[in-house]
């Protein structure tokens, strides 16, 4: 039996929940996402006590999920802008900030060919204070459920691989 979009989202959120904090029905300025996944990692080196930090680095990832029956170019552009702005608003650049990834993961029954092209060519990277306060990169990955096809921009390969591991053909079945 074929999984519904909501069942696919639940399975994907379960996969992300091992390393990410999951939030449901997340309102952002200008819209809402059915779920987000947040990952934060901080590494410190210090002398003798934690009060004497030599250096620290922070890495973050903000994943926004979008589910739809049909994805067209206009809707995709809106979701890209919405997730990119929400991610940028969340990032707090500092001397300890190393990098942040903002990722949009889309589950759709069908995707327009123009939207597929837009997914593959979308690129965005931002340096904070000449990268002295870290940088941000935008990732996007999508699954067209009707054809079992997976798409991503060049930076979103890891998000696409997560989709493929969860919904792709089972290699053991061959």
Q: What is the DSSP string of the chain?
A: -PPPHHHHHHHHHHHHTTTSEEEEEEEETTEEEEEEEEEEEEEEEESSSTTSEEEEEEEEEEEEEEEEEEE-HHHHHHHHHHHHHHHHHH----TTEEEEEEEEEEEEEEE-HHHHHHHHH---EEESTTTTT-EEEEEEEEEETTTTEEEE-GGGHHHHHHHHHHHS--GGG-
pLDDT score for 132: 86
Mean pLDDT of all residues in 15-19 = 93
Residues 6+ apart with CB under 8 A from 31: 78, 82
Separation CA 159–CA 136 (nearest Å): 16
Q: Which structure tokens are listed for 113? A: 């060919």
pLDDT level of residue 150 (50, 70, 90 thresholds) = very high
Separation CA 125–CA 25 (nearest Å): 27
Q: What is the pLDDT of residues 104-125, one digit of tens each?
A: 999 999 999 999 999 999 999 9
pLDDT level of residue 171 (50, 70, 90 thresholds) = low
Q: Which structure tokens are listed for 53? A: 């930090």
pLDDT score for 174: 45
């Amino acid at each position: 039996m074929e999984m519904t979009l909501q069942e696919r989202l639940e399975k994907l959120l379960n996969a992300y929940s091992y390393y990410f904090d999951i939030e449901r029905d997340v309102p952002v300025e200008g819209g809402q996402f059915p779920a987000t996944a947040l990952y934060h990692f901080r590494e410190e080196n210090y002398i003798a006590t934690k009060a004497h930090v030599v250096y620290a680095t922070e890495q973050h990832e903000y994943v926004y999920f979008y589910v739809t029956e049909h994805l067209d170019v206009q809707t995709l552009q809106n979701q890209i802008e919405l997730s990119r702005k929400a991610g940028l608003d969340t990032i707090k650049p500092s001397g300890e900030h190393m990098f942040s990834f903002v990722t949009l993961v889309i589950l759709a029954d069908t995707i327009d060919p123009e939207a597929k092209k837009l997914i593959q060519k979308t690129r965005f990277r931002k340096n904070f204070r000449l990268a002295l306060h870290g940088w941000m990169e935008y990732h996007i990955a999508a699954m067209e459920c009707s054809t079992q096809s997976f798409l991503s921009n060049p930076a979103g390969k890891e998000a696409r691989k997560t989709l493929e591991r969860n919904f792709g053909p089972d290699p053991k079945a061959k």
